[in-house]
A = this chain, B = another copy of it.
Amino acid sequence: MNFDPLLAKNDLLEAYKLLQPHVHRTPVLSSHLIDELAGCKLYFKCENFQRMGAFKMRGAVNAIMNLSPGQQARGVVTHSSGNFAQALSLAAKSLGVKAYIAMPSNAPEAKKAAVRTYGGIITLCDSTPEARESTAAKICLETGATFIHPSNDYQVILGQGTAALELIQDHPNLDALFVPVGGGGLIAGSAIAAKYFSPVCIVIGAEPKGADDAFRSLKSGKIELNQDTDTIADGLRTNLGDVNFPIIRELVKEIVLVSDSEIVEAMKLIFERMKIVIEPSAATALAGLLRHKENFKGKRVGIVLSGGNVDLSKLPFY
């Protein structure tokens, strides 16, 4: 199943109904002080409060629930060293399904432990993309489990889009929505939600300068890759894919770039003023809005805070 403009509205509603019992409806928070600074009214969708600490739980649940009972019985596979490995493990556990995770052997022990806590079955491999993919493919062959891509999968995209859908349900009059861009699943899903449930709301992606593949892709009209990445926003170092890029190209107004220091500044504002913990990737959306705030004076702007899984011993505040 793939994106079809005639079906997408219904597809998203289906995803929303399916996953609702398995994810938190996260709160939407505001801050007078940040509003004053931004010159507009901001609505923060707090996916840092989502199960396992990030929006990725939504896509993982929706992808698994859309498998046939036979497929579910054989389990699911992904390759990831980050939030999606944890999300797929926890989603699978919640739904009584096995999750196999191909993880680079040099991934931090804390991340391996988190995956195991959620019941994920880890196969260690080299850290190259090729090694991860071939390891995942081998697991698929051996177990009959279904591969689920962290961001380039239509059911994952729809799942991620339910965060923006909930935000729009709570605040139907948004003028714009800022979303961090990594692998492209969250922004593609958010753009579907805005297009069909808040048609006047423009969707803007925010991306670190040090991983600007989506910015370049939207300019050139084809998927551009990051050769190397250099950003504190570790969740946003991945490339777009052939499933989400057409959606992004069609429905996203613009991608804006922000520096790491702007990301840290936005992150600090959110910690200090809102008293909530977010990861650098999540701060990217607010950084993008602040950089272009003159364009949003007096508007109502949604900000997707994508997650809160940050290493507390490495916070960038000094």
Contacts and interface: CB of A to CB of B under 8 A. Distances in A.
Interface of A: 27, 48-49, 53, 268, 271-272, 275-278, 308, 312-313, 315, 317-318
Nearest to A273: B53
A116 to B, nearest CB: 15
Given A48-B275, A275-B308, 12 more contacts: A27-B27, A53-B275, A268-B312, A272-B277, A272-B312, A275-B276, A277-B277, A312-B315, A312-B317, A313-B317, A315-B315, A315-B317
A268, A275, A315, A318: which has the most chain B beta carbons within 10 Å? A275
Contact of A277 (B53, B275, B313, B318): B275
Those 9 A-B pairs whose CB atoms lie nearest each other, nearest first: A275-B308, A312-B317, A275-B277, A48-B275, A313-B317, A313-B318, A271-B277, A276-B276, A271-B312
Contacts of A308: 275
A219 to B, nearest CB: 35
A275 B47 CA distance: 10
Nearest to A27: B27
Contacts of A276: 275-277
A312 B318 CA distance: 7
A27 B49 CA distance: 14
A88 B273 CA distance: 19
Contact of A275 (B49, B272, B317, B318): B49
A45 to B, nearest CB: 14
Nearest to A311: B317
Contacts of A48: 275
A47 B238 CA distance: 38
Contacts of A272: 277, 312
Contacts of A27: 27
Contacts of A312: 268, 271-272, 315, 317
A98 to B, nearest CB: 22
A136 B49 CA distance: 44
Contacts of A271: 277, 312
A36 to B, nearest CB: 11
Contacts of A318: 313
A271 B313 CA distance: 12
Contacts of A315: 312, 315, 317
A282 to B, nearest CB: 10
Nearest to A32: B51
A48, A312, A313: which has the most chain B beta carbons within 10 Å? A312
